[in-house]
Structure 1
Amino acid sequence: MATLLSDRDIQTQLSQLPDWNLDGKAITCTRTFKDFVTAIDFVNQLVEPAETAGHHPDLQISYNRVVINLSTHDAGGLTEKDFAMAKTISALG
C-alpha cells in the first residue's frame, strides 16, 4: 500500500500545482471547456495515463465542466500517486 503524505508534504506538492486544491483527503481541479464535446475529448485523454499508472481519478462531468478528484482510496488519503497523476493531468490540453 502507498504511504500517506504529511500535511507539510501535501502543501509542498500543492504549491507546484496552482490549478489544484485540497478537498479533505483529496485534491481537486475543475476544468472548463468551450462545449460538451471538448470536455469529453479531455476526459478521453485521461484514459491512457490513468490506465498506465493504475490510478484512476474520480470525475464529474457537467456539460462543459469537468471536476477531477484524486485520492488513493486504499491508503485512505493523499499519496505520491495522486500528485504524479495531477501533474500528468495538468499537462494535458
Structure 2
Amino acid sequence: MSNMDDLASKKCVPCEGGTPPMPRGDAEALLAHVLGWEILDEGVLKIKRNFKFKDFKSALSFVNKVGAIAEEEGHHPDIEFGWGKARISLFTHAVSGLSENDFILAAKINKLRQERERIEAK
C-alpha cells in the first residue's frame, strides 16, 4: 500500500482550537505522498491543487463528489471551479494552518481523480 493509500484510508478527526498547526517541514514530508498538491503561504500554510477537465459538466461532477467526501469527513476545502477546471485549497481553520486532516482529504481527492481518469480512459 502506498503512502497516499495509507492517508486515504484514514478518517479526518475533529480539531480543537489551541492546537498548533503542523510545522512546514512536516507538511513538506506529507506533501510527497499527495502528488500534484503544493504548499501555499497566504498568511497561513495551505495546500492546493489545480485540476483540468474536458468540459464544465465534468468539473461540476468532480466538485460535487469532492463535496460529498468533505461532508463525510467533516473537513471542508475551498473550491473554485469553472469550465474545464477546478482549484481546491485545504487548510484547517481551527488551527490556522495545516493538519494531517488536510493531507488525508487531499489523498482522498487524488484517489477520486485517479478513479475518474480510469473511467474516462475506457
> Relative to structure 1, is the Cα distance of residues 91 and 81 closer, same or farther in structure 2, using a 3 angstrom cutoff?
same
TM-score normalised over the length of structure 1: 0.94
RMSD: 1.1
Higher helix share: 2
* CA offset digits 1:3-51 (Å, max 9, x no partner): 5211111011001112100011100000000000000010111122101
- Are 2:71 and 1:51 equivalent residues in the alignment? yes
Question: What amino acid sits opposite 2:72 in the alignment?
Answer: T
**Which one of 70, 73, 82 corresponds to residue 93 of structure 2?**
73
Identity %: 33
Runs of 5+ consecutive residues of structure 1 not aligned to the other structure: none
- Which of 10, 14, 18 is matched with 2:35 structurally? 18
Larger Rg: 2
Check if 1:9 corresponds to 2:29: no
Distance 1:32 1:56, change over 3 A: same
Q: Structure 2: state its 5+ residue gaps.
A: 1-15, 117-122
Q: Is the partner of 1:4 in helix, strand or coil?
A: coil
Q: Which of 60, 80, 84 lines up with 1:64 in the alignment?
A: 84
